[in-house]
Amino acid sequence: MRRTPVYYYSSSSGLVRLFAERLGRPVHDLSEREVRQSLADGPWVLLTPSYKTGNPANDTIPEAVRRFLASPANRRHLVGVMGSGNRNFGRYYQRAAREIAELSGRPVLFEFELSGTPWDVQECVRILEELDAALDRRDALRAHDSDASPAAPTAAAL
C-alpha cells in the first residue's frame, strides 16, 4: 500500500521537523529548494506551522508552503492538511493550516502544538494509516471502473 507522503515546512527552530521525522513514512522538507520546486507524484498531505507576521497580505502561511501550493498539480494532489501551532496565539491558533484547508476544500486531518506529544505522534500515525487505506480503496474502485468500461460497448453490441 502506498504511504501518503507528508510535505512539511519547519523553520530553524525545527519543531515541525522533529514531529515529521517521527511519523515513520516518507516526509519532504519544503525548506529545501529542490523539494519546493518539485511536483508531488500523487496524493500528499501538508504539515505546516503558522507564523503570524502582521503583514495582512501574507500573514501566517509560510512562504515555502505558498510556493509549493502555487503549482496547480500540487494543489490538485493535496488530500489533507495538518498544523502545528501555539495556543498562545489565540484566534490565530493554526491559522495557516485552517486557511489552506478552507481555500482548498481539503480537511484538516490533525492539529498539535509545537513539536507534539508522544500521543500526538501516535494519533497522527493512526490517522495517516487510515488515509492510506482509504486512498487505496479509492484506487481499487477506480481501477475496477476503468476495467469495466471497455467491456460495456461490446456487451451492448451483442
- Site size for ligand FMN (CB under 6 A): 21
- Asked whether 95 and 59 are in contact (CB, 8 A), the reply is yes
Pick the stretch among 35-43, 50-58, 121-129, 147-155 that binds ligand FMN (CB under 6 A).
50-58
Taking CB under 6 A as the rule, does residue 31 contact ligand FMN? Answer: no
Measured from the CB atom, is 15 or 125 closer to ligand FMN?
Answer: 15
Which residues 6+ apart lie within 8 Å of 88 measured at CB? none
Sign of CA dihedral 72, 73, 74, 80: positive
Number of C-beta neighbours around residue 58 at 10 A: 12
Measured from the CB atom, is 43 or 98 closer to ligand FMN?
Answer: 98
Contact set with ligand FMN (CB under 6 A): 10-11, 13-17, 49-52, 60, 84-86, 89, 92-95, 114
